[in-house]
């Protein structure tokens, strides 16, 4: 494990003067995710960043550029044939203050990626990771424990860090309510029925269009007869004397 930790540091000592520059960017999205990306003027062979914020809950599988073919902290926990360390699995999320894969959820993690095999494109622009997070502010910085960024000539100059971005999880949706009055009534039922009749296609599956986000109550990203039946049942059960029911969740 110590050897793994030293990997970036050793590479960093190789040479400084010829090493390239990497610019790290972060984008806080409105769906509870955070994108971390980079551009560089040379191939980045090792990159380690820290992410600190409210709560990191997950890593979006496949979000890291395939150019990075080893997640160093994940590999440090493996045994046996090292050819398996060039990965098709695992995650780049690492414990922020020690070697090893991160345990989630966590308020802070490191992201550690490396490149071992033949060069593929793109090498100088790509995604580091997309993280699933709780809403709030997140700060991305260079991971000095692991050595930050290296190319074939040593430690790279890093631009753009630290950077703080805000992540939101989007507006709250009142399930069952499409007319925006925060109540579920027969008028919503009629509007959802009309939407499915007009836009439902041959399978009766209508898309969620702006204003109809509350029409998908079963969460399958479609508005169908099953949603209509669920809304009718909800109003029948919870509608009170005026037929006004609360949001379904």
Q: Is 141 in the site for Ca ion (CB under 5 A)?
A: no
Per CB under 5 A, the segment of 34-42, 69-77, 153-161, 217-225 that binds Ca ion is 217-225
One residue of 177, 192, 232, 234 binding Ca ion per CB under 5 A: 177
Total residues contacting Ca ion (rule CB under 5 A)?
10
Binders of Ca ion among 75-114, rule CB under 5 A?
none
One residue of 16, 181, 197, 209 binding Ca ion per CB under 5 A: 181
Binders of Ca ion among 1-60, rule CB under 5 A?
none
Q: Is 248 in the site for Ca ion (CB under 5 A)?
A: no
Q: Is 69 in the site for Ca ion (CB under 5 A)?
A: no
DSSP string, the chain: -HHHHHHHHHHHHH-STT--EEEEEEEE-SSSEEEEEEEESS---EEEEEEEEEEEEEE-TT-S-TT--B-HHHHHT--S-GGGGS-SS--SEE-TTSSSBPPSSEEEEEEEEE--SS--S-SSEEEEEEEEE-SEEEEEEE-TTTTSEEETTEEPEEES-SEEEEE-------TT--SSSS-B-HHHHHHHHHHHHHH-TTTT-B---TT-GGG--SSSSSB-HHHHHHHHHHHHHH-TTTT-BPP--
Q: Is 216 in the site for Ca ion (CB under 5 A)?
A: yes
Q: Which is nearer to Ca ion, 21 or 244 (CB)?
A: 244
Per CB under 5 A, the segment of 26-34, 113-121, 202-210, 219-227 that binds Ca ion is 219-227
Residue nearest to Ca ion (CB): 177
Q: Is 218 in the site for Ca ion (CB under 5 A)?
A: yes
Residues that bind Ca ion (CB under 5 A): 177, 179, 181, 183, 188, 216, 218, 220, 222, 227
């Amino acid at each position: 494990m110590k050897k793994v930790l030293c990997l970036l540091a050793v590479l960093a000592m190789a040479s400084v003067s010829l090493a390239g520059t990497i610019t790290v960017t972060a984008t806080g999205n409105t769906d509870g995710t955070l994108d971390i990306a980079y551009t560089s003027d040379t191939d980045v062979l090792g990159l380690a960043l820290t992410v600190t914020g409210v709560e990191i809950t997950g890593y979006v599988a496949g979000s890291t550029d395939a150019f990075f073919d080893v997640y160093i902290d994940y590999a440090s926990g493996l045994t046996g044939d090292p050819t398996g360390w060039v990965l098709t699995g695992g995650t780049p999320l690492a414990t922020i203050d020690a070697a090893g894969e991160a345990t989630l959820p966590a308020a802070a993690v490191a992201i550690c990626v490396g490149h071992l095999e033949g060069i593929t494109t793109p090498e100088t622009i790509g995604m580091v990771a997309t993280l699933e997070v709780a809403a709030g502010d997140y700060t991305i910085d260079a991971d000095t424990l692991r050595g930050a960024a290296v190319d074939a000539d040593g430690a790279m100059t890093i631009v753009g860090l630290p950077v703080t971005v805000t992540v939101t999880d989007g507006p709250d949706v009142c399930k069952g309510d499409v007319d925006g009055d925060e109540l579920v009534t027969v008028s919503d039922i009629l509007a959802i029925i009309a939407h499915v009749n007009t836009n439902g296609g041959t399978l009766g599956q209508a898309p969620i269009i702006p204003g109809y986000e509350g029409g998908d109550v079963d969460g399958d990203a479609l508005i169908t007869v099953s949603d209509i039946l669920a809304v009718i049942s909800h109003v029948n059960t919870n509608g009170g004397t005026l037929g006004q029911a609360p949001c379904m969740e």
